[in-house]
Amino acid sequence: MTISFIHPALIMIVGACLLPMVRGPFRKPYMFLVPLLTFIDVIYLSGHPGTYGVFQFMNWELTFGRVDRLSMIFAFIMSLMAIIGTIYGMHVEDEWQHIAAWFYVAGSLGAIYAADYITLFLFWEMMAFASTFLIWARKDDEALAAGYRYILVHTFGGVVLLLGFVLRYQATGDLSFGQLNVSSPEFYTWLIMAGLMLNAAVPPLHSWLPDAYSKATAIGAVFMCAFTTKTAVYTLIRSCSGFDVLIYLGVIMAIYGIIYAIMENDVRKLLGWEIVSQVGYMVVGVGIGTSLAINGACAHAFAHILYKGLLFMAAGAILTTTGRQKLTQLGGLYKKMPGTMIFMLIGGLAVSGLPLMSGFISKSMIISAAFESHILWAGFALTLVSAGTFLAAGLRLPYLIFFGKNNCSEETWEKAQEPSWNMQLAMAIGGFLCIFLGCYTPFLYNMLPNTGVVFHPYNAYHLSETIQIMAFTAFGFFMLRKYVMPKDTTSLDLDWFYRMGGRAFLWTVKNPLQWCDNSLGKFYKSFGINCLMTTSAFWSWFDWHGIDGVVDGTARCVRAIGRRVSIVLQRGQIQQTICYTVSFAAVLLVAYVWI
Amino acid sequence: MIINLIDYLRDRLQYVTYSCYVAMAFIVIWSLSVDTSHAHTWAEKMIPGFWSLFGLCSCAIVIMVARWYGKSGIQTREDYYDN
C-alpha cells in the first residue's frame, strides 16, 4: 500500500511562512493548530515505517523521509515539544520569534528523518540559523553578541561536518547517513563525529550552550533546550553508536556540567550546564552502544526534553514576570509564585531521577547498561553525577529561588506574580508528562528503538539505591549549603579562548597592524612621495631639457641653417640663384666623373 | 494553600528537621533488608547502607570540588567579558 508522505517539517515551514498573514482572533488557534497537525503527521508516519521522499539531485539520491523506530521516537518528542513550546509562547506578539522557532523545529524534524548527509546538512544549518534568531530576538547587546558567538561556533561545526562527509564521499562514494565504521575510524569519521558532537555540546565543543541559552528570549530558550542537543544525540546514535571514545567524553561532560552548575549564579545558565551534564548520560549510552544503552539514550533524551523544557519554562516565567534571572537577585518567591514553584520542583525532581518521575526510568537504563557492560567506573561516575544533579537542580535551584534568603529588590518583589494562563498551561502539560512517564513506563518503553530489551526500573534494590542517594544528598546539602550560596561571579570556561582570542585578534588588528599601516603611510608620505617627486622632477627636466632640447635644437638648427641659406644663397635675384645652382651641379658632376 | 503549608512547616522547622532524620534512619534500615542480588559490585553487598554513604560522599565531593575549582580563579568578576 502506498501512503501519501507529507514531511512534518514542511507543515512547520509552510505554517511559519503563513503566520504573519494570520492575525487577530485567528492567531492563537492557528498557532496551536500547526504544531498539532505536525504532531498528527508524525504519529501517522509512525504507523507506516519505510523510506519516503526520495529525490534525484544531480548525481545524488536525496532521502527526506526515513521512518523507522529510531526516527519515530525522536520525531514524536520533538513535535510534542513544539506544541508545548508554542503554547508557552502564545502570548508573545513578536511573530518573528514564532517563525524562527517553527523553522527551528522544522530543521530538527528534517534532520531526524534525513537519510543522507546532504539533506541532513541542509536541515542542520536551518536549525543553527533559525535558533540564532531566537537569541537575537531578545534585542539587547548581550544577546546580540551571544547570537554572533553562537552562529560562528555552529558554522564552524557545520563546516567540520561538511568536510567529514565530503571526504567520506570522496573515499567511499557513499552519501547515505547511517552507522559509521567506528571499530577502525578514518579521519573523516572523526570529523563527522566532531561536527555532530559540537551540537551535542560535548567538551571541548560545549561552551556555546550555557552562553546562548541564558541570553535567548524566554520562549527561545524553551525551544532551544529541546532541539539542538537532542537532535545531535539522535545523529550520534544513528552514526557513532558503540564508539568507545564517547564513553569517556560523556562521563567528562556529565561531571564537568554539574560542577559548573553548582558554581553558577544565572538560573538559565545553570540549567544550560545541567543540559551539558544530562546529555553526557546520553553520550555515554551512545558510546556503550548495547541495545539497552541505546534504548537508555533514547529514553533519556525523551524524558530530558520534557523535564528540561519544564525547568526552562519555569525559569522563563520568573524572567518574564520579574525581569531577573540571577540567584543573587531572587529568593523567597514561594509567596508570589507558588504554581511556578511546583512546576520547577517537578522538573527538578524529574531531572534528579526521583522514583515516579521520568528521570528515574530513563537515567537508570544508561547507568544499568554501564554496569552490565562492566564499565564500572562509568556507572559509578554517572551515579555520582545523579547525586550532583539532585543537588544542583532539585535542591539548590528551588531553594535559592523560592525559599532561602530573599534577595529581591522591592521592584522585583512587586513585579513577581504567576505567569499568564498559556505559560501555566504549557508547564502543566510538561509537569503532567514528567509524572506520567515515570508512573506508566510502557508508554515510553514501547516506543524505544530496540525491541526485546527488558528493563524493570521499579525493583526494590533500585528504589532503595535511589532513595538512599537522594536522602543523603539532601542531608549533605543541608549541612554544606553555605558553600553553594550564589555569588555575583561569572565562571570562566573554554569559551574564554575564542572570546579573548577574538579580542586579541581585534587588538592585533587595531594596534600593531594599524600602527604598521599608519607608519607605512607616513613613511610613504615623507620619503616615498618626496623620492617620487624628485625623480619625476628630474625626468621632467630631462624631458624638457634633454629630449626636447635635442628635438627642438635640431629643429632650431635646421631653421637657422635654412635661414642662413636663404640669406646667403637666395637673395631674390634669379640669375644669381641659377648661377649658384648650375655651379653646384657642375661641381657635383665633376666630382662624380673624376672621383 | 501551598503558601500556608510552607509557612506552617517553616514555623516548625525543628520538627521538620527531626522528621527528616527519622526518615533517613528508616531509609537506611530499610536498605539493610533489601535483597542485594541485583547489586553490581561486591562493595554494595558487603557495605551496609553503601548507597547512603555514596550519596553523602558524592554530594560532599561535588560541592568541595566546585568550591575549590571556583576559587582557583575560574569564578571571576561578573563584568569580566563586558557583555
> Can you give the pLDDT of all 595 residues of chain A as single tens digits?
456 789 999 999 999 999 999 988 999 999 999 999 999 999 999 999 999 999 998 888 999 999 999 999 999 999 999 999 999 999 998 899 999 999 999 999 999 999 999 999 999 999 999 999 999 999 889 999 999 999 999 999 999 999 999 999 999 999 999 999 999 899 999 999 999 999 999 988 899 999 999 999 999 999 999 999 999 999 999 999 999 999 999 999 999 999 999 999 999 999 999 999 999 999 999 999 999 999 999 999 999 999 999 999 999 999 999 999 999 999 889 999 999 999 999 999 999 999 999 999 999 999 999 999 999 999 999 999 999 999 999 999 999 999 988 888 889 998 999 999 999 999 999 999 999 999 999 999 999 999 988 899 998 999 999 999 999 999 999 999 999 999 999 899 988 999 889 889 999 999 999 999 999 999 998 888 888 899 999 999 999 888 988 998 899 999 999 888 888 777 778 888 888 889 999 999 999 998 7
Report how far residue A570's alpha carbon sits from residue A564's, in angstroms, rounded to the nearest whole number.
9
Q: Are A243 and A287 in contact (CB under 8 A)?
A: yes
Whether A554 is covered by a domain: the verdict is no
Q: Do A341 and B2 touch (CB under 8 A)?
A: yes
Q: For residue A515, how far is the Cα from the chain centroid?
A: 36
Q: Are A460 and B39 in contact (CB under 8 A)?
A: no
Q: Do A185 and A303 belong together in one domain?
A: no
Task: Specify the pTM.
Answer: 0.88
Q: Which three cell numbers stand for residue A418?
A: 504567576
Look at residues A240, A268, A302 and tell me which one is the last residue of a structural domain. A240
Q: Do A461 and B39 touch (CB under 8 A)?
A: yes
Q: Do A503 and A455 belong together in one domain?
A: no
Q: Which residues contact B60 (CB under 8 A, 6 or more apart)?
A: A476, A480
Q: Do A132 and A24 belong together in one domain?
A: yes
Q: Do A69 and A152 belong together in one domain?
A: yes
Min Cα distance B81 → chain A (Å) is: 8
Whether A168 is covered by a domain: the verdict is yes
Min Cα distance A312 → chain B (Å) is: 22
- Is B82 in CB contact (< 8 Å) with chain A? no
Whether A543 is covered by a domain: the verdict is no
Number of compact structural domains in chain A = 4
Q: Do A67 and A175 belong together in one domain?
A: yes
Smallest Cβ–Cβ distance between B56 and the set A260, A476, A491 belongs to A476
One-letter amino acid of A338: P
Whether A541 is covered by a domain: the verdict is no
Q: Do A234 and A330 belong together in one domain?
A: no
Q: Do A473 and A500 belong together in one domain?
A: no
Q: Do A235 and A380 belong together in one domain?
A: no
Whether A270 is covered by a domain: the verdict is yes
Q: Do A236 and A247 belong together in one domain?
A: no
- Is B14 in CB contact (< 8 Å) with chain A? no
Domain housing A501: 494-536
Q: For residue A217, how far is the Cα from the chain centroid?
A: 16
Q: Do B59 and A262 touch (CB under 8 A)?
A: no
Whether A552 is covered by a domain: the verdict is no
Q: Do A400 and A504 belong together in one domain?
A: no
Q: Do A369 and A234 belong together in one domain?
A: no
Whether A123 is covered by a domain: the verdict is yes
Chain A residue numbers with beta carbons less than 8 Å from the beta carbon of B53 are: 472
- Is B2 in CB contact (< 8 Å) with chain A? yes
Q: Do A251 and A235 belong together in one domain?
A: no
